[in-house]
């Protein structure tokens, strides 16, 4: 039964609109702003599923990002609207892995795909090699363990 539960997908969609301050002189979104869009997706996911930065903080945890990937496929321009889809990947390691797809809301084109990996530390920076209690409870509540 747990294998079936582990296939449950946790997905969040966040709409964004490209602001003038996010584009370069050619009117194209500057590449560094895509990390902010992934962060928007990560924050929306955390709020929707009870695993945001404040949730970690309330439980004496930090979840620093140790890996961030972004594969660019198309460009967004000033005024475009897009959707950041954030999808959770279960792993038996003590880390939080999220996958992202940014799509142009108007035509559905994939603009970029990304991935982030976060680890768990206590307030002093000590790394958790096993699931910290808060994350273990979160996994149980969503049927992953």
| Domains of the chain and CATH, by start | 2-141 (3.10.129.10)
pTM recorded for the entire structure: 0.92
- Quickly state the pLDDT bin for 1 (edges 50, 70, 90): very low
Provide the 10 A C-beta neighbour count for residue 37: 23
Helix (H, G, I), strand (E, B) or coil at 79: coil
Helix ranges restricted to H, the chain = 2-6, 33-49, 53-58, 133-141
pLDDT at 100 over 90: yes
pLDDT confidence of residue 6: 45
From the list 138, 40, 45, 42, the residue with the least C-alpha distance to 94 is 138
pLDDT in tens, 77-93: 999 999 999 999 999 99
């Amino acid at each position: 039964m747990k294998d079936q539960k582990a296939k449950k997908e946790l997905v969040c969609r966040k709409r964004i609109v490209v602001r003038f301050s996010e584009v370069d002189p050619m009117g194209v979104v500057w590449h560094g702003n895509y990390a902010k869009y992934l962060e928007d997706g990560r924050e929306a996911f955390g709020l929707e599923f009870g695993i945001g930065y404040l949730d970690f903080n309330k439980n004496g945890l930090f979840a620093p990002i140790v890996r961030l990937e972004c594969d660019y496929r198309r460009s967004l321009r000033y005024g475009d609207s897009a959707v950041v889809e954030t999808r959770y990947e279960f792993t038996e390691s003590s880390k939080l892995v999220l996958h992202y797809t940014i799509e142009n809301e108007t035509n559905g084109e994939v603009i970029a795909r990304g991935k982030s990996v976060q680890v768990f530390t206590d307030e002093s920076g000590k790394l958790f090699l096993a699931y910290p209690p808060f994350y273990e409870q979160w996994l149980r509540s969503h049927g992953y363990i």
